[in-house]
Each structure stands twice: as structure tokens, then as C-alpha cells.
């Protein structure tokens, strides 16, 4: 893994963790699109890698299915997971200081942007 890929994985982990702590989203909404659009992973590999980040607490059986078909990058998942923890802490700290209506609007806006990218993107 080169330095640029490592940096991108760290940014994905921090972003997903931050948004998870800030508005309760992260895995599929942040990590999967980021892995597809920024690192060129296939949709299935991005999904498998995203599940691997959450494997132990949530999705070990799902990860095993993706892994058996060759669609998991554990080294990517590890970097994202470690950075996810830091981002989650920071995001939750900020969200708890803001007006809940503002947080809800930020969440809705982010979801809308992701949806538009998926509907109208390549």
C-alpha cells in the first residue's frame, strides 16, 4: 500500500467516524462511496471492505461471505477502522454542542448529496 492510498484510507476512516459520531452515519453511506469513487474499488469490494471495518461487533458472517468471493481488503479495513475511532470521537463531541435541528439538516443534506451522486454519477 503506497502513502497516497494510506492517506486516503485514513481520511475515509476519519470522515466516516466523524459523521458516525456527528449524525449517526458512517459505514455504507460514507465508506462505500468513498472507496468506490476515490480508490476505484468495485461496489462489491467496497461493501465487503466496509463490512470488514465493523466485522467483529456487527458483520462477521457477512464479511466471511464477501471474503470467500475475494471482495475484502482487510489492510484497507484496518486503517479505516483505526481512524474511524478518532473521527467518531471528534464528530460526537461537535454534534453534542450543536442545535439538534442543525445536525438533522446536515445529515439530510449529506444523504441528499450521496443519493444524487449515485443516481447521476458514472
pLDDT confidence of residue 4:
96
The Cα–Cα gap between 115 and 108 comes to 10
Residue 121 confidence (pLDDT) above 70: yes
Q: Which residue has the higher pLDDT, 54 or 108?
A: 108
Asked whether the whole model's pTM tops 0.75, one would answer: no
Residue 34 confidence (pLDDT) above 90: no
Contact 73, 12 (CB under 8 A): no
97, exposed or middle or buried, with CB in 10 Å at 0-12, 13-18, 19+?
exposed
Residue 11 confidence (pLDDT) above 90: yes
Mean pLDDT in residue range 92-101: 86
Look at residues 51, 114, 41, 42 and name the one whose alpha carbon lies nearest to residue 81.
51
pLDDT tens per residue, range 36-87: 889 999 888 887 788 788 766 666 777 788 899 999 999 998 998 889 888 8
Contacts 24+ apart (CB under 8 A), 107-113: 107/23, 107/24, 107/25, 110/19, 110/23, 110/25, 110/29, 111/25, 111/29
Amino acid at each position: 500500500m503506497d502513502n497516497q492510498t494510506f492517506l486516503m484510507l485514513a481520511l475515509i476512516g476519519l470522515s466516516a467516524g466523524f459523521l458516525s459520531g456527528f449524525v449517526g452515519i458512517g459505514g455504507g453511506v460514507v465508506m462505500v462511496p468513498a472507496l468506490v469513487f476515490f480508490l476505484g474499488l468495485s461496489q462489491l469490494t467496497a461493501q465487503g471492505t466496509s463490512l470488514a471495518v465493523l466485522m467483529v461487533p456487527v458483520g462477521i458472517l457477512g464479511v466471511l461471505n464477501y471474503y470467500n468471493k475475494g471482495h475484502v481488503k482487510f489492510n484497507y479495513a484496518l486503517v479505516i477502522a483505526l481512524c474511524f475511532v478518532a473521527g467518531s470521537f471528534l464528530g460526537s463531541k461537535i454534534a453534542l454542542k450543536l442545535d439538534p435541528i442543525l445536525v438533522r439538516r446536515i445529515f439530510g443534506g449529506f444523504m441528499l448529496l450521496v443519493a444524487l451522486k449515485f443516481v447521476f454519477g458514472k
